[in-house]
Structure 1
Amino acid sequence: MYFGVDYYPEHWDESMWEPDLRLMKEAGFNMIRIMEFAWSRLEPREGEYDFVWLDRFLKLCEQYNMLVMMGIPARNVPAWLIKKFPDLAVKTKEGVRESFGSRYTICLNHPYWAEYAIRLAEEMATRYGKHPLVHSWHLDNEYGDGNVCYCDHCRIRFIDWLKNKYGSIQELNAAWGLVFWSLEISDWDEIWVPALTNRFMHNPGLLQDYQRFFSWTTVQFVKRQAEVFRKLAPDQPITTNLQSMTRYHTDYYQLAEVLDVVSINYYPPLSYNSADLDLMRSLKNQNFWVVEQKSGPPGFAHNGYLTPHPGETRMYTYQSIGHGADAVLYFRWRPSNFGQEQFHKGILDYDSKANRIFREISQVGTELEKLAPIVKGTTCQAEVAIMFSYDARWALEHYYPHPDIQYRDHLLKYYFALQRQHVMTDLVHPGSELNKYKVVFVPLMYLMDQEIADNLARYVEQGGTVVYTFRSGAKDENNNVVRSTLRPVIQRMLGIVIEEAFALAPEAVNTILTADGETYVSSRWVDLLQIENAEVIARYDSEWYKGYPAVTLNHYGQGKAYYIGTFTEDRFIESIVSRALSDAGVQPILNAPEQVEVTVRTDGHKSVYFIMNRASEPAGFDLSESYQDIFDGKEVQGRLEIEPFGVRILLKTE
C-alpha cells in the first residue's frame, strides 16, 4: 500500500524541504508525487537542462526513505517554447488563439510540441530510470482535460485519420450522410473541422469522428511517452491521473491500455463519487491508484465551502481503498499562497503547522500499518455491471433527444440504486466479456454497433439478465438513427417493437401503473411498445397513450431482458433494480442502512469489509455473522454502531 502526498519542491525554498519530509514521515507517508508542472525549471532555456536542484531534493528523499512518483511535464510548456512557436496555442471553436498564462492551452497536434516534450521525457528517463527511489512515472497531468483545438495542424492530421478509417471519399460521404444539405466532398482537402457555425449544428457524423479523433490524439501521444520509459526505465510502472465522469474528452478505456496502472484524482462529494472509483477499477479489470485524494477543500469555484467534516477525509480515504485502490496520495501537502490555485487547500494550511486534517491523516497512516498487509493481494469482485460508453455519451451530447436527459446523470441513478442495495458494481466497456456478471444494466447506450448488440443478446441467451433503457441503440456507429428503432437482434432479445418514440415537454409528467397496482411518475421520454413475446410490467396511466406498455420483461434463451421505455422517478428505478437482482440471485454484501456504504475486497481465502457512514448522523445495524475488527483485533457480532463519517473495517476468513 503506497500512502503519500503530492508535493512541489520547485514552489518552496530549499530550507523547507527537509522539515516537510520529516513531517510527512510522521504522518506515515512512504511516497510523494512530484514534477508534473515543472518544465520551466527543468529546461529553463531550450536545450539547457537543470536537474541539479532535483538531485538535491531526491537526496533528501533518500534520507527519509521516501519513494518518488516522478511526474513528466508535457502540456504546460515554458514561455520560450510558445514564443518560438506561437501557433502552438490552441485555436478555439470561435477561431481565437488561446493566450499563454493558463494550463493545457497547447495543440496536441502541433508537429514540434511533441518533439520537445518527448526530448524532455528522454532526458528524465535517462537520468532517473534506474534511481533507487524513483518508483514510477506519472505522465503529465490530467490527460483528457483540456481544450479541443480547431487549427490547421489538427485539420491536416484529422484528414489522415479519416483516410485510414474510411479509405475512400465515397465511404466517408455515405457514413456521414453528406448528401444532406449538399455537404458532399470530392477530395480529401475539402474536409473541414467543426468550428463555430452561425446557427445550425454540424453534421453529427463529423462531430462524432472529430471527438473520436481528439481522443485518439491524446492516446497516441501518451503511448509515445510511455514507449520512452518502457525502453529507458523498464522496471518502473507508468501511470497518469484520470478524472471523473464529468470529463469525457478522452475514452479512458483506450487510454488505460497504454498504462501499467490506472490512477485517478478523487475529490468527492460533488464532481466525484464512488462510481468514478469503480470505473477506474474496471478500465483494466485490476486495482488502481489514487494520486490526488481530497484532503482539504478544493479550490477554484468552491473556495472553502467543501471543507471536510471531522472524520470525512479518513472516510473518503477508506472509500478509495474499499473500491480497489492500492495507493492513496493526497493533494496537496500545503496550499500555494501564489498562482491560480491559492484557495485549493491541502493537508497543512499556509502556515505549515500540523492541524486537524494532518492529525486525521496521520491516524490513517497508523491504521494502514495494520491494514496494508491484510488487503495485499485482495481485489473487488462484482457480480453486477453497468455498460459505460464514451462513444455513446459523445453522440448523446452532440444531438440530445431531450435537454433534461443527460448520460452521466441517468447512469448514476442506476449506480446509486445498486449502491443503496449494497451491491458492488463494475462499469464495463460495451465490448467486454459479460458472462462473469449476473446482471448487466444498459442505461442510455445511445450509440451502438452490431457487435455490441450481438454481445448483449448472446449474454442474455446464455443466461444473463439485462436491464435495457429507452434510447439505447437508437444510433448506429456513424451517429445515424437506426431505421428500425431497435436493431433486430435487440428487438428479439427484448421481445418488443417500438411503435413510436417521442420526447415530452420539460414540464410534462405522466404516470406508469405496474401490474401489481403501484403508480410511479414518468416524464421526458415516451416509447410506445408493441408486445411480441414480452411480459408487461407497467403501462402508461394517462394521456392519449394510456394503456400502452412502458416497461417489459422478456425471457430470451436462458436469460431475461427488461426494457424501460420512459424516464422514471428514482423510486421505480430502485424497484426494478431490486427485482432484477433478486431474479439473478444477487445478494447484498451486508444488510446495512442506505446511508452506510459497504464494499468488500477478497483474495478467495479472506474478505475485508469496508463499512462507511457517509452521513453526519450516527448509524447502526445488526450483523448476522461474526467478524474480526481489523484495528483492535476484537470479535464483532450483533449490533454494529458507526459514528458520523465513521469507518469500520472487518475481516472474515473463509
Structure 2
Amino acid sequence: MYYGVDYYPEHWDETMWEPDLRLMKEARFNMVRIAEFAWSRLEPREGEYDFAWLDRFLKLCNEQDMLVMMGIPARNVPAWLIKKFPDLAVVTKEGIRESFGSRYTICLNHPYWPQYALRLAEKMAERYGSHPLVHSWHLDNEYGDGNICYCEHCRIRFTEWLKEKYGTIQKLNAAWGLVFWSLEISDWDELWLPAMTNRFGHNPGLLQDHHRFVSWTTEQFVMKQGDAFRKLAPDQPITTNLQSMTRYHTDYYQLSEQIDMVSTNYYPPLSYNSADLDLMRSLKNQNFWVVEQKSGPPGWAHNGYLTPAPGETRMYTYQAIGHGADAILYFRWRPSNFGQEQFHKGILDYDSKTNRIFKEISQVGEELQKIAPALKGTTCQAEVAILFSYDSRWALEHYYPHPDIQYRDYFLTYYLELQRQHVMADLVQPKTDLSKYKAVFAPLVYLMDQEIADNLARYVEQGGTLVYTFRSGAKDEYNNVVRSTLRPVIRNMLGIEIEESFALNPQEVNFMSAANGDIFSSSRWVDLIQPVQAEVIARYESQWYKGYPAVTSNSYGKGKAYYIGTFTEDDRFYESIVSRVLQETGVQPLINVPREVEVTVRTDGHKSIYFIMNRASELQEIVLSGTYWDVIQDMELQGRFEIEPFGVRILTKT
C-alpha cells in the first residue's frame, strides 16, 4: 500500500523541506508526488536544465526513506516557449487566442511543442530512470481536462485524421449527411472545425468525429511520452491522473491503454462519487491509484463550505481503498499562499502546524499498517456491470432527446441503486465481453453500431440478463438516427416494436402502474411499446396513450432482456427493477445493512475484506449474520452493533 501526499518543493524555501518530510513520516507516509508543474524550474531557459534542486530534494527523501512519484510537466509550458511560439496558445471556440498565465492553455496539435515536451521527458528519464527512490512516473496532470483548441494546426491535423478514417471525400459526405444544408465538400481543404456558429448547431457527424479526434490527440501524445520512459526507464511504471465523469472530452478507456497503472483524483462528495472509483478500476480491470485524495476543502475562488467533518477524510480514504485503490496520495501537503489555488486547502494549514486533519490522516496511516497485509493480492470482483459509453455521451451532448435527461445523472440512478442494495458493479464499454456478468444495465447507450448490438444480443442469448433503456441504439456510429427505431437483432432480443417515441413537456407528469399494483411516476420521455413476445411489466396510467406498455421483459435464448420505455424520477421504481433483476439472477448483497450504509469487498479468492462505511448523518445499526474479524480493532464481531456518521468498520471473513 502506497500512502503519501502531493508536494511542491519548488514552492517552498529549502529550509522547509526536511521538516516537512519528517512530519510526513510521522503520518506514516511512504510516497510523495512532485514536479508535475515545475517546467520553468527544470528548464528555466531553452536547453538549460536545472536538476540540482530536485537532486537535493531526493537526497532528503532518501534520508526519510520516502519513495517518489516523479511528475513530468508537459502542458504548462514556461514563458520562453510561448514567447518563441505565440501560436502555441489555444484558440477558443469563439475564435479568441488565450493569453499566457493560466494552465492547459496550449494546443496539443502544435507542430513544435511535442519536441520540447518530449525532450524534457527524455532528460528526466535519463537522469532518474534508474534512481532507487523514483518509484513511478506521473505524466503531466489531468490529461482529461482542457486543451480543446480550434486553431489552424488543429484543422490541418483533424483533416489528416479524417482522411485516414474515411479514405475518400465521398465517404465522408455520405457518413455525415453533408447534403443537408448544402454542406458537401469537394476538397479536403474545405473541411472546417466546429467552432462557434450562430444559433443553429453544427452537423452531428462532424461534432461526433471532432470529439473522437480531440480524445485521440491526447491519447497520441500520452503514448509518445510513455514510449520515452519505457525505453529509458523500463522498470518504473507510468501513470497519469484521470478525473471524474464530469470531465469527458477524453475517452479514458482508450487513454488507459497508453499507461501502465490507472490513477485518479478523488474529491467527493460533489463532483466525484464512488462510480468514478469503479470506472478507474474497470478501465484496465485491475486495481488503481488515487494520486489526489481530498484532505482539506478544495477551492479556487472560494473556501470553507467543503471542509470535511471529523471522520470524513478517513471514510473517503477507505471508500477509495474499498473500491480497489492500492495507493492514496492526498492533495496537498499545505495550501499555497500565492497563485491561483490559494484557497485549495491541504492537510496542514498555511501556518504549517499539525491539526485535526493531520491527526486523522495519521490515524489512517497507523491503521493501514495493520490492514496492508490483509489487502495484499486482493481486488474487487463484480457480478454486475453497467455500460458506460463516451461515444454516447458525446452524441448526447449537443442533441439531447430532452433537456432534462442528462447522461451522467441517468447513469448514476442505476449505479447508486445498486450501491444502496450493496452490490458492486464494473463500468464497462459496450463492446466488452459481458459473459462473466450475471446482470448488465445499459442506460442511454445512445450511439450504437452493429457490433455493439450483436454483443448485447449474444450476451442475453447465452444466459445473461440485460436492462435496456429508452433511446439506447437511437443513433448509429456516425451520429445519424437509425431508421428502424430498433435494430433487428435488438428488436428480437427485446421482443417488442416501438410504435412511437416522443418527449414530454418538462412540467408534464404521467404515471405507470406495475402488474403488482405499484404506481410510479413517468415523465420527460415516452415510448409507445407494442409487445411481440414480451411480457408487460408496467403500463401508462393516463393521457391518450393510457394502457400502452411502459416497461417489458422478454425471454431470449437462455437469458432475459428488460426494456425501460420511459423516464422516471421515482427512486422506488429503480429500487423495484434492480431488486427484481438481482433476485432473478441470484446476485446477493455483500452484507445486509441499511441502504444509507455502503459496503464494498476486496478478495483474493480465499479471504474477503469488507469495508462498511456510514455515509449517513445519523447513527446506523448493523446486524451481522455470521462471525467476522474487525481488522482495525483486532476483535471478533458478530450480531448487532452501531456505526457512527462517517464511521468505518473493516471486517474479514475467510
Query: With structure 2 as the length reference, what TM-score do the two structures score?
Result: 0.99
Letter in 2 for 1:616: S
1:301 to partner: Cα distance = 5.1
Is residue 2:620 matched to residue 1:624? no
Aligned length: 653
Further displaced range: 215-224 or 640-649: 640-649
Partners of 1:409 and 1:199 in 2: CA distance: 26
Partners of 1:132 and 1:593 in 2: CA distance: 47
Question: What is aligned with 1:560?
Answer: 560
1:197 to partner: Cα distance = 0.6
CA deviation string 1:338-377 (max 9, x = no partner): 0000000000000000000000000000001110111010
Partners of 2:65 and 2:136 in 1: CA distance: 15
Question: What is aligned with 1:379?
Answer: 379
Partners of 1:631 and 1:97 in 2: CA distance: 55
Partners of 1:260 and 1:272 in 2: CA distance: 23
- Structure 1 residue ranges without an equivalent (≥5): none
CA deviation string 1:238-291 (max 9, x = no partner): 000000000001000000011100000000000000000000000000000000
CA deviation string 1:157-196 (max 9, x = no partner): 0000000100100100000000101111111111010011
Partners of 2:329 and 2:410 in 1: CA distance: 31
Partners of 2:81 and 2:643 in 1: CA distance: 55
Point out 4+ residue stretches in structure 1 off by more than 3 angstroms: none
Question: What is aligned with 1:612?
Answer: 613
Partners of 1:75 and 1:246 in 2: CA distance: 21
Partners of 1:265 and 1:108 in 2: CA distance: 22
Question: What is aligned with 1:54?
Answer: 54
- Structure 2 residue ranges without an equivalent (≥5): none
Letter in 2 for 1:410: Y
Is residue 2:203 matched to residue 1:232? no
Letter in 2 for 1:257: E
Partners of 2:565 and 2:642 in 1: CA distance: 41
Is residue 2:595 matched to residue 1:589? no
Partners of 2:100 and 2:327 in 1: CA distance: 34
1:616 to partner: Cα distance = 2.3
Partners of 2:373 and 2:405 in 1: CA distance: 45
1:644 to partner: Cα distance = 1.3
Partners of 2:312 and 2:206 in 1: CA distance: 45
Is residue 2:268 matched to residue 1:268? yes
CA deviation string 1:288-320 (max 9, x = no partner): 000000000001255210111100000000000
CA deviation string 1:440-492 (max 9, x = no partner): 00000110110001000000000000000000000000000000011110110
Map 1:281-430; keep pairs closer than 5 Å: 281-300=281-300, 302-430=302-430
Paired-residue identity, %: 81
1:503 to partner: Cα distance = 0.4
Partners of 2:137 and 2:572 in 1: CA distance: 45
Question: What is aligned with 1:82?
Answer: 82
What SS does the corresponding residue of 1:101 show, helix, strand or coil?
coil
Question: What is aligned with 2:250?
Answer: 250
What SS does the corresponding residue of 1:226 show, helix, strand or coil?
helix
1:49 to partner: Cα distance = 0.3
1:135 to partner: Cα distance = 0.1
Partners of 1:223 and 1:304 in 2: CA distance: 39
CA deviation string 1:579-599 (max 9, x = no partner): 011110100000000111000
Partners of 1:24 and 1:481 in 2: CA distance: 56
Asked if structure 1 preserves the Cα contact closer than 8 Å seen for 2:239 and 2:260, the reply is yes
1:539 to partner: Cα distance = 0.5
Letter in 2 for 1:96: I
Partners of 1:88 and 1:455 in 2: CA distance: 43
Partners of 1:18 and 1:431 in 2: CA distance: 51
Letter in 1 for 2:268: P
Asked if structure 1 preserves the Cα contact closer than 8 Å seen for 2:108 and 2:147, the reply is no
Question: What is aligned with 1:517?
Answer: 517
1:633 to partner: Cα distance = 2.0
Question: What is aligned with 1:636?
Answer: 637
Letter in 2 for 1:310: P
Asked if structure 2 preserves the Cα contact closer than 8 Å seen for 1:92 and 1:147, the reply is no
CA deviation string 1:527-569 (max 9, x = no partner): 0011111000000001000000110000000000000000012
Partners of 1:501 and 1:636 in 2: CA distance: 54
Letter in 1 for 2:333: W
Map 1:59-208; keep pairs closer than 5 Å: 59-208=59-208
Asked if structure 1 preserves the Cα contact closer than 8 Å seen for 2:21 and 2:64, the reply is yes
What SS does the corresponding residue of 2:258 show, helix, strand or coil?
coil
Asked if structure 1 preserves the Cα contact closer than 8 Å seen for 2:443 and 2:472, the reply is yes
Partners of 1:165 and 1:468 in 2: CA distance: 30
Partners of 2:7 and 2:633 in 1: CA distance: 33
Partners of 1:573 and 1:488 in 2: CA distance: 27
Is residue 2:4 matched to residue 1:4? yes
Partners of 2:220 and 2:41 in 1: CA distance: 26
Letter in 2 for 1:538: A
Partners of 2:622 and 2:23 in 1: CA distance: 39
Partners of 1:255 and 1:147 in 2: CA distance: 15
Partners of 1:514 and 1:594 in 2: CA distance: 23
Question: What is aligned with 1:578?
Answer: 579
Partners of 1:582 and 1:303 in 2: CA distance: 46
Partners of 2:392 and 2:648 in 1: CA distance: 37
Partners of 1:286 and 1:620 in 2: CA distance: 33
Partners of 1:114 and 1:303 in 2: CA distance: 37
Partners of 2:539 and 2:147 in 1: CA distance: 45
Partners of 2:585 and 2:5 in 1: CA distance: 42
What SS does the corresponding residue of 2:521 show, helix, strand or coil?
strand
Partners of 2:432 and 2:619 in 1: CA distance: 40
Question: What is aligned with 2:527?
Answer: 527
1:640 to partner: Cα distance = 2.4
Letter in 2 for 1:639: R
Letter in 2 for 1:421: Q
Partners of 2:386 and 2:380 in 1: CA distance: 15
Is residue 2:635 matched to residue 1:645? no
Asked if structure 1 preserves the Cα contact closer than 8 Å seen for 2:301 and 2:343, the reply is no
Partners of 1:351 and 1:646 in 2: CA distance: 29
What SS does the corresponding residue of 1:636 show, helix, strand or coil?
strand
Question: What is aligned with 2:45?
Answer: 45
Asked if structure 1 preserves the Cα contact closer than 8 Å seen for 2:6 and 2:292, the reply is yes
Question: What is aligned with 2:482?
Answer: 482
Letter in 1 for 2:607: K
Partners of 2:616 and 2:573 in 1: CA distance: 24
Query: With structure 1 as the length reference, what TM-score do the two structures score?
Result: 0.99
Partners of 1:595 and 1:562 in 2: CA distance: 27
Question: What is aligned with 1:280?
Answer: 280
1:632 to partner: Cα distance = 2.5
